Structure 1
Amino acid sequence: MMKPVILLAALLLLAPQVSAQTFPQTTGRIVSVGGAVTEIVAKLGLGDRLVAVDSTSLHPPEMRALPQVGYMRALSAEGVAALHPDLVLLSDNAGPPAAIEQMRGLGIPLKLIPDRPTPDGVADKIRAVGAALGRQGEAETMSRETTDRLAAVSRVVEKAAGRPRVLFLMGLGGGAPVAAGRNTAADAMIRLAGGINAIDGYDGYKPASGEAILDAAPDVLLLPTEAVDAAGGRDAVLALPQFAGTPAASSGRLVVMDTLYLLGFGPRLPDAVADLARSLHPELAQDLANDAAPRPGGLL
């Protein structure tokens, strides 16, 4: 079997020497890395040009049938090169950096797409994908529609009487659950939906002890679908000892959402915020249905 170093050298010799800024915009084979990036490509009507995606690209469902290049933060330059892409769209959270530099060295046309978990960040993401694919007009329309719908949801959320404390846990695992602190996509979603992040003592995602969870006093637990399924379902999660004594466990308030839908910050953001807001503020459900007109999806 050819060794990776030899394979990489061979691919370098065979690859077309194309600048990362001179990729074809309207034709060719596209590899998309980043769930929201892939959603935007599909919504622009170019899903049929995708020859592979990463493991976070799960929507729309037909994307799951495409070949995968692995997890977005653990890419292989050789694996991507073997697909002979005309363009690779990469969330700027993708990596590792060495793999991205290898792709550039192989002459693979790359476009890094900005990925910030903010409303403006979603608009920028949509426009960046549209520009890379020569679909600026369609992307601008999508961006405006997304921004307008999110503004409508926000106007309803502003009517909420209170702000529940919400604890997002990325996973339960065999040890301490991993909780979302400040400056995370989960933190941003909780705030957009009219909640308060119950964890405010650190940035990023970190394991949280039972004592820390109790001190956080969450009114609502927010978990990804796969974490709840792995734990045995809603009742099993609420019965876990680390949640004993929290207001959320006492009242049975557990919200379960698809990870990409909740944290992807793509074109479905207004729907995700509306769905989470309905769970945090049941009294707003009718207003959200009438004024914000969210399209359900991802909330279980």
Structure 2
Amino acid sequence: MCASASAAGLHITDDRGVTVRFVAPPQRIVTLLPSLAETVCALGQCQRLVGVDRYTNWPAEIAHLPRLGGGLDPSVEAVLALRPDVVLLAQSARVIPQLEGLGLNVLALEPRTHADVLRVLEQVATLLGQHPQAGRAVWRQIDADVATVAQTLPPRTRRARVYYEADSGPYAAGPPSFIGETLTRLGVNNIVPPKLGPFPRLNPEFVVRADPDIIMVGLHNAAEMAQRPGWSALRAVREQRRCVFNAAETDVLMRAGPRLAEGARIMARCLTEKAP
């Protein structure tokens, strides 16, 4: 989607295909998706944030901001009370028509892939009154950092077959997802075929048959995993080749935003420690 600026102001076309025009760059910004708050801050403009969703917890300098509820269903009254120039949120947020009906500027920007992270950086840079090049510069550093992480991995990790559980269900991170893209950059093999999509719900028997070398899972979902029929016999479980990420690590790994390289480092540590 496009973003442009001119003497007459600027306009941003969001993920819905809706174009929003601004006379001047917004100075009071509400974000209802953690990756969008992180994007604003990565572009050096944390001070413009006046409110965020309850899950936004980075960087530390915005810890004092009002929490406005969940990103999909926030407190409309609390958002309105902050008098934002724009509300940045996910395309899936149910509250969009209500916010627009109250006269607020709304932009739905939901990065889901590495390419989306670059695109959203460019769009938010334009929104902030910067040149899109500012967003591209942030992306180039992210991309270079991911490449550096990949180069540090020992050769034995290249043979590893990985299962990344994104949520109970189980839902996996497939190759088309931003997590899957990072795994590919790190040179490992995802047991989930690309045709199943970014975050497919799997039959647990699929994972038993695939018998991955390494399992990656968040702490919240790890306990349930052991109760599934046949999973105790998985090599990754028997040989303790399972990485259980804590809440802070999971936050980084599950957000398609400026901390992609940090996510790559977390996965690289797992691969280095657990690869056969």
1:246 maps to: 234
Quote how far apart the aligned CAs of 1:85 are.
0.9
Matched with 2:261 is 270
1:193-204 equivalences under 5 Å are 193-200=186-193, 202-204=196-198
List per-residue Cα deviations over 1:222-271 (Å, max 9, x = no partner).
1124334xx3xxxx966865521111101101223322311312222122
CA deviations 1:130-178 (Å, max 9, x no partner) are 1111233643432322232233334556956633222222334xxx533
SS in 2 for 1:215: helix
1:103 is paired with a residue of what secondary structure?
A: helix
Q: Which runs of 5+ in 1 are unaligned?
A: 1-18, 285-300
Structure showing greater Rg:
1
Aligned-partner SS, 2:30: strand
One-letter identity of the residue aligned with 1:129: V
Shift of 1:276: 0.9
Q: Which residue of the partner structure matches residue 255 of structure 1? A: 243
Q: TM-score, normalised by structure 1?
A: 0.70
Q: Distance in 2 between matches of 1:242 and 1:42?
A: 45
Identity of aligned residues (%): 27
Matched with 2:15 is none
Letter in 2 for 1:171: D
TM-score by length of 2: 0.76
Counting matched residue pairs gives 252
- Cα distance, 1:115–1:171 mapped onto 2, change above 3 Å: closer
In the other structure, the counterpart of 1:67 is 66
1:297 is aligned to none
Q: Secondary structure at the match of 1:275?
A: helix
Counterpart selection for 2:124 from 129, 142, 146: 129
Structure 2 residue runs of 5 or longer lacking an equivalent are 1-18
Matches within 5 A, 1:274-293: 274-282=265-273
CA distance in 2, matches of 1:95, 1:161: 39
Give me the CA root mean square deviation.
3.1
Alpha carbons of structure 1 residues 185 and 72: separation in structure 2 relative to 1, 3 Å: farther
Residue 185 and residue 138 in structure 1: after superposition, are their counterparts in 2 closer, same or farther (change >3 A)? closer
Letter paired with 2:268? A
Distance of 1:255 and 1:121 partners within structure 2: 27
Structure 1 residues 126 and 159, CA gap change in structure 2 (3 angstroms): farther
* Alignment match, 2:13: none
Residues 205 and 124 (structure 1 numbering): CA distance in 2 closer, same or farther, change over 3 Å? closer
